[in-house]
């Protein structure tokens, strides 16, 4: 089985696909001035965009890891998540606190999904 890569770059790909399973790279906000709700919306929009490129949608996401720079942001992230998640097809999810890569970054998410294409 070969590994296909979506938008490979010098450091990483947007996703690596093996068979019909896609491993999405960590999605992060580009606007680090926003609060947790703005950053969460941006990250979920980025996940939606990658899923669309894979020919799928959030209904195809099997699991998501959520990393928060501050666990006090958990309720704000959940409020945006709850408005976004597909209620008929919610993914498995884990959330933890972590030191993130850049100052001001409040959230990062990594997903594993079915790639229907």
> Mean pLDDT, to the nearest integer, of 19-30?
97
Break the chain into its structural domains and give their ranges. Answer: 3-114
Task: Name the token pair of 92.
Answer: 């498995």
pLDDT score at 27: 98
> Mean pLDDT, to the nearest integer, of 69-94?
98
Of the candidate CATH numbers 3.50.80.10, 2.40.160.10, 3.30.1330.40, 2.30.30.30, the domain formed by 3-114 belongs to 3.30.1330.40
39-53 residue pLDDT tens: 999 999 999 999 999
pLDDT score at 28: 97
pLDDT at 1 over 90: no
Q: Is 0.75 topped by the overall pTM? A: yes
């Amino acid at each position: 089985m070969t590994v296909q890569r979506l938008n490979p770059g010098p450091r990483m790909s947007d996703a690596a696909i093996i068979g019909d399973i896609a491993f999405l790279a960590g999605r992060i906000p580009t606007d680090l001035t926003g609060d947790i709700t703005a950053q969460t919306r941006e990250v979920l929009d980025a996940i939606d965009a990658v899923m669309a490129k894979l020919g799928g949608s959030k209904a195809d996401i099997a699991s998501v890891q959520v990393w928060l720079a501050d666990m006090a942001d958990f309720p704000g992230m959940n409020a945006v998540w709850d408005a976004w998640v597909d209620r008929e097809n919610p993914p498995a999810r884990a959330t933890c606190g972590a030191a993130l890569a850049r100052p001001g970054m409040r959230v990062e998410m990594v997903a594993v999904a079915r790639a229907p294409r």
